Amino acid sequence: MMIKKPIFLIAACLVLLISSCLDTSSKNSSENLLNTDFELVNINNQYSMEVPDFMKESKELNDEASLQYQNIFKELYIIVIDESREEFKTVFQDLGEYDDEISMVENYKSIQLEFLQEAITIHSKEDVESSVINGLPFEIVKVDATSDGIDIAYTIAYIDGPENVYMIMAWTEKDKREKNEALFQKMIKSFKISARTKGVTKNPS
């Protein structure tokens, strides 16, 4: 199994996309991004998430992502990465990197953040929330980082599902975090597993 490490492609695409639209992005800081219609996006009858109608599907943000949406003028991007929870656990147990003293979702967060640290320069990292949302163990983290001279604000959610683990990564320019954070939280917390994939609840470890 090849563990999915989305960070490298994301960082490169982010710089390209942000650089192309810095001069044309909206400067209206009072704009309420939640005052819009949201589309319920269903991915392969596996999971769903609400996305604002001003964000459009992309194929360029990450080759491994099962969901990719963006608005280059508002400098908003979001992707979802998913992979087998059992394969993830087996691989990192074999590598001696899986900590049986913490939960599956905490392991997934820790390992993916290590991959992120290898790809970009992280200035700050804040654990925002550890809870159960829509029946799923969630860990949400805010990361401020720099990639190729661009200051970036990430809001990242790590989720433990019945069959897969998921990473939702939303990002924008650092100085737009406050303006966009409520939108990021709304999208992330709308994430739900489709009924056919729910099955039996697994031990979170």
Residue 141, domain CATH:
3.40.1000.10
**Residue 43 covered by a domain:** no
Q: What is the per-residue pLDDT for 200? A: 36
For residues 188 and 186, what is the distance between their CA atoms, to the nearest angstrom? 6
**Residue 30 covered by a domain:** no
Low-confidence stretches of the chain (pLDDT beneath 70): 1-31, 196-205
Q: What is the per-residue pLDDT for 4? A: 58
DSSP secondary structure string, 16-61?
Answer: HHHHHHTTTS---TT--TTSS-EEEEEETTTEEEEEETTSEE-SSS
Q: What is the per-residue pLDDT for 147? A: 87
Domain hosting residue 80, numbered range = 7-23+49-197
**Residue 97 covered by a domain:** yes
**Residue 145 covered by a domain:** yes
| Chain position carrying tokens 């994301």 | 10
Total domains present in the chain: 1
Q: What is the per-residue pLDDT for 26? A: 47
**Residue 31 covered by a domain:** no
**Residue 132 covered by a domain:** yes
**Residue 130 covered by a domain:** yes
The reported pTM is 0.85
pLDDT, tens digit (0-9, with 9 covering 90-100), for 23-46: 444 444 446 889 899 999 999 999
**Residue 76 covered by a domain:** yes
Closest CA to 83 of 53, 47, 31: 47
- What Å distances lie between residue 18 and 74, 167, 172, CA to CA? 10, 22, 9
pLDDT, tens digit (0-9, with 9 covering 90-100), for 194-203: 986 554 333 4
